[in-house]
Amino acid sequence: MAMHGKKYRSVAEKVKNDANYSVADAVTFLQENPTANFDETIEMAFRMGVDPSKSDQAIRSTVALPHGTGKDVRVIVFATGDAATAAREAGAAEVGFEDLIKKVLDGWIDFDAAVATPDAMKEVRKAARILGPRGLMPNPKTGTVTDDTAAAVNQLKAGRVEFRMDRNGNIMVPFGKRSFTVEALAENAKALVDAIHGARPASAKGTYIKRCTISSTMGPGLRVSLKEISE
């Protein structure tokens, strides 16, 4: 069983287990109590009140974070012709078709997002077993299957992130870095919460978000007041 380090334990002891923090107070706490020597990613985790076993209650969408994620997003594009040229000019890390698909099939996954043109998807699906489990499979619902590859690359690099509920009913999304201002993190968090409410399945009944916590890469989780993140 993995044990947390001394620094983590000392910070975790300061967390009020029965408290519900505001988003601003939670990120302020994490900024004032760092648990690592690098610029940690700040993440929101949601426990959803839907049935993850029912396909009509699946939750998957994207959100454009107003202040980005603070990460240099590596985007690859499966395309040919003009769409491939546009993707390269937009700053895609890798652009290709059959050669790029083979590279992925051989085990290369050194990227953060993948875009494909509709025409390319028939071949890209061959890599679904590698891309799918990692949340990297291009999907029309998230705007990553498109002929406008330049726009998709620009949006992803600017801070558009995808979120999806896992098989246990949880959603975890990074929304900035510890070095961001409290205001920037709070605005990113609001955009994320609004997007999750916007992705509510029509068949979802009762409490939609049951729990929300904010944590840093190496830090403890702080429970967020549901009143602040409810619609």
Which of 129, 141, 151, 133 lies closest to 79 in space, CA to CA?
Answer: 151
SS3 39: coil
Q: Strand, helix or coil at 216?
A: strand
At 202-216, the pLDDT tens digits run 998 999 999 999 999
Q: What is the pLDDT of residues 112-155, one digit of tens each?
A: 999 999 999 999 999 999 999 888 999 998 889 999 999 999 99
Residue spans per domain, the chain? 16-68+161-229, 75-158
Percent of the chain with pLDDT over 90: 74
pTM value? 0.77
CATH 3.40.50.720 corresponds to the domain 75-158: no
Best CATH choice for the domain 16-68+161-229 from the list 3.40.50.261, 3.30.190.20, 3.40.50.620, 3.20.20.10 = 3.30.190.20
**Structure confidence at residue 3 (pLDDT):** 57
| Rg of the chain over all Cα atoms, to the nearest angstrom | 19
- Over residues 216-228, the pLDDT tens digits come to 998 999 999 988 8
Residue 59, CB-side half-sphere exposure with 13 Å CA sphere: 31
pLDDT digits (tens, 9 = 90+) for 16-30: 777 899 999 999 999
Predicted confidence band at 5 (pLDDT cuts at 50, 70, 90)? confident
Give tens-digit pLDDT for 77-92.
Answer: 999 999 999 999 999 9
